[in-house]
Structure 1
Amino acid sequence: MTIIEIPAGWPADETTALAVQRELRARLVRDEEGPPAGEGHVTGLDVAYDDERDLVAAAAVVLDARTLEVVEEATAVGRISFPYVPGLLAFREIPTVLAALDSLTADPGLLVCDGYGLAHPRRFGLASHLGVLTGRPSVGVAKNPFAFAYEEPGPARGDTSPLLADGEEVGRAVRTRAGVKPVFVSVGHRVSLAGACAHTLRLTPRYRLPETTRHADSLCRRALKDALGEHASPPGAPGAF
């Protein structure tokens, strides 16, 4: 297995990363509706870390948007490419996520990230970052609301409420299962918020989390486990990493 190394020139400190983030944010497209829910392909993206060995495993899983059947899946394992800094987490994993995406032969269609897009302190989370870099429509579907205020949506599947930052709607809390806590949906790139919510509901016919996230989460964990097993040191030997 090949370990994806950190690209030459990749930001190594907070100041440089913030400058790159500002530059890319200027390219964000927010005035497109995006692909219709239930058509084409949707691709789930997720990562798993082993900080002790400085590794991150990324998974990209393409689903048929209508049937939610898996079309193709790919993984990549790389070096963690940036220190942990809240608001700059995308820089830790993007090289490996892009490597997984590049391994696909199918058209990824809409990218669905386990994280945030505009629901970010500087309105440029992982979903937005990946969308701009790839040029693809993208959405973020997060398990938690980060630091943003919201009121509980109604109890029925499909009920929503605004996710607010200083009075601005940066996403929506979306109830995907009746009586179950909501997920937090935000626009990444080239998709409307209404479209992002429609895709989220289409991707959650049975469970709280989208099928894209469920498949990608399982796959990246397996990829990391396989990588650690492949590179494990024999007892008493120096660490492989």
Structure 2
Amino acid sequence: MKVAKPDSWPADPEAAAALQDHLRSRVIAENPRPPRFRTVAGLDSAYDEDGNVAAAIVVLDATTLETVEVATARGTTDFPYVPGLLAFRELPTTLTALENLTVTPDLLICDAQGLAHPRRFGFACHIGLLTGVPTIGVAKNAWGDYTEPGRERGCSSVITIDGDPVGAALRTRTDVKPVFVSVGHLIDLETACAQVLSLTPEYRQPETTRRADRLCRTLLRDMAVPSAPPASGTT
């Protein structure tokens, strides 16, 4: 898959925040063409205290939810842990994983924020701009204000930041905590919520997220296991 990987990344939080402010005006929060999502991909990453990063991409058939392709990547980061800038710890390794795909998915679903972000430019927005593929963020926690949606599956309420609508709290399972959906790029919020519901037939999280999460955490655990020392002997 082709990705517009930048030549360099911000070296400090101030530069990273400035880049988000610079890029956010390029986000398109609508469908530029009638949506047709035949394949959807889940993106997730995990990192440890040593700076190891594992990223996983799982592509599913949008109708059957069968796995079409999987790609992973390993990397490291020394970018500091700063709320609102966590994307810069994960983006380089995630882009490498995307480049390892042989197919280009029709929709990318990130375990992250999109417009529901303090600078209106979360991880999902950044990935969307770098790939040119419709992208949404589906987060486990909200960034912004919202009221609890109705208790039944499919109910939703608006997430706002400073009074501006930035996403939706969406109930994917009756009487279960909602997920928090926001636009990343090239899709509108109504379409994004419909896609999330189609990907949650059994669980709170989309199947894309569940499978990518398991894969990247397994990869990270493997990275943390030290290699066995060579056997000693006499000659």
TM normalised by structure 2 equals 0.90
Cα distance, 1:179 vs structure 2 = 0.8
Cα distance in 1 for partners of 2:34, 2:43 equals 18
Cα distance, 1:41 vs structure 2 = 0.7
Which residue in the other structure is 1:133 paired with? 130
Which residue in the other structure is 1:239 paired with? none
SS at match of 1:26: helix
Q: How does 1:21-32 map to 2 (within 5 A)?
A: 21-32=20-31
Change in 2 beyond 3 A, CA 1:205/1:33:
farther
SS at match of 2:26: coil
Cα distance in 2 for partners of 1:234, 1:105 equals 33
Are residues 1:112 and 2:75 paired? no
Aligned match for 1:97, one of 90, 94, 97 = 94
Which residue in the other structure is 2:45 paired with? 47
Cα distance in 1 for partners of 2:191, 2:33 equals 7
Which residue in the other structure is 1:170 paired with? 166
User: Which 4+ runs in 1 deviate beyond 6 A?
Assistant: none
Q: How does 1:1-241 map to 2 (within 5 A)?
A: 9-32=8-31, 36=35, 39-51=37-49, 53-146=50-143, 148-229=144-225, 232=226
Change in 2 beyond 3 A, CA 1:92/1:152:
same
Q: Is the 8 A contact 2:29 2:189 kept in 1?
A: no
Change in 2 beyond 3 A, CA 1:228/1:157:
same
**Percent identity among equivalent residues?**
59
Structure 1 residues 43-74: Cα deviation after superposition (integer angstroms, max 9, x where no partner):
000111112x2101000000011111100001
| Gapped regions of structure 1 (runs ≥ 5) | 1-6, 236-241
TM normalised by structure 1 equals 0.88
| Gapped regions of structure 2 (runs ≥ 5) | 1-5, 230-235
Q: What is the aligned-residue RMSD (CA, Å)? A: 1.7
Aligned residues: 224
Cα distance in 2 for partners of 1:119, 1:187 equals 8
Change in 2 beyond 3 A, CA 1:110/1:81:
farther
